[in-house]
Amino acid sequence: MREEQTPPASTPSPQPSSPAPVEHEHWQTGRLIVAVLTCLFIIGAAIAYEALG
Protein backbone atom coordinates (compact mmCIF):
# COMPACT_ATOMS: atom_id res chain seq x y z
CA MET A 1 0.00 0.00 0.00
CA ARG A 2 1.04 3.56 -0.58
CA GLU A 3 1.39 5.98 2.28
CA GLU A 4 -0.25 9.37 1.87
CA GLN A 5 2.33 12.10 1.76
CA THR A 6 1.81 14.93 4.19
CA PRO A 7 3.45 18.32 3.67
CA PRO A 8 6.24 19.13 6.12
CA ALA A 9 5.23 21.17 9.15
CA SER A 10 7.68 23.92 8.23
CA THR A 11 5.71 24.76 5.06
CA PRO A 12 3.88 28.05 5.65
CA SER A 13 0.15 27.86 5.16
CA PRO A 14 -1.40 30.28 2.67
CA GLN A 15 -2.52 33.51 4.28
CA PRO A 16 -6.25 34.29 4.20
CA SER A 17 -7.25 37.21 2.04
CA SER A 18 -7.24 40.55 3.81
CA PRO A 19 -10.57 42.16 4.72
CA ALA A 20 -12.10 44.71 2.38
CA PRO A 21 -10.60 48.19 2.53
CA VAL A 22 -12.44 50.80 4.56
CA GLU A 23 -13.50 52.79 1.50
CA HIS A 24 -15.61 49.85 0.27
CA GLU A 25 -17.64 49.52 3.49
CA HIS A 26 -19.99 52.33 2.41
CA TRP A 27 -20.84 50.50 -0.81
CA GLN A 28 -21.40 47.24 1.03
CA THR A 29 -23.85 48.97 3.39
CA GLY A 30 -25.66 50.51 0.43
CA ARG A 31 -25.92 47.16 -1.32
CA LEU A 32 -27.31 45.58 1.86
CA ILE A 33 -29.98 48.28 2.14
CA VAL A 34 -30.96 47.86 -1.52
CA ALA A 35 -31.18 44.08 -1.09
CA VAL A 36 -33.39 44.37 2.01
CA LEU A 37 -35.67 46.93 0.35
CA THR A 38 -35.97 44.72 -2.74
CA CYS A 39 -36.98 41.74 -0.60
CA LEU A 40 -39.53 43.82 1.29
CA PHE A 41 -40.97 45.12 -1.99
CA ILE A 42 -41.34 41.59 -3.37
CA ILE A 43 -43.02 40.38 -0.17
CA GLY A 44 -45.34 43.41 -0.16
CA ALA A 45 -46.24 42.86 -3.80
CA ALA A 46 -47.06 39.21 -3.10
CA ILE A 47 -49.29 40.16 -0.16
CA ALA A 48 -51.04 42.83 -2.23
CA TYR A 49 -51.53 40.36 -5.09
CA GLU A 50 -53.11 37.83 -2.71
CA ALA A 51 -55.32 40.46 -1.08
CA LEU A 52 -56.45 42.24 -4.24
CA GLY A 53 -56.11 39.71 -6.96
**Do residues 23 and 15 touch, judged by C-beta distance below 8 A?**
no
CA distance 53 to 51: 6
Q: Which amino acid belongs to residue 46?
A: A
User: Domain for residue 17, yes or no?
Assistant: no
User: Domain for residue 28, yes or no?
Assistant: yes
User: Domain for residue 8, yes or no?
Assistant: no
pLDDT tens column, 7-23: 556 666 666 676 656 66
User: Domain for residue 2, yes or no?
Assistant: no
Q: Which amino acid belongs to residue 17?
A: S
Per-residue model confidence (pLDDT) at position 4: 66
User: Domain for residue 39, yes or no?
Assistant: yes
pTM across the whole model: 0.51
Rounded to 5 degrees, φ, ψ at 11 are -70, 125
In the chain, how many domains are there? 1
User: Domain for residue 5, yes or no?
Assistant: no
pLDDT tens column, 38-52: 999 999 999 999 999
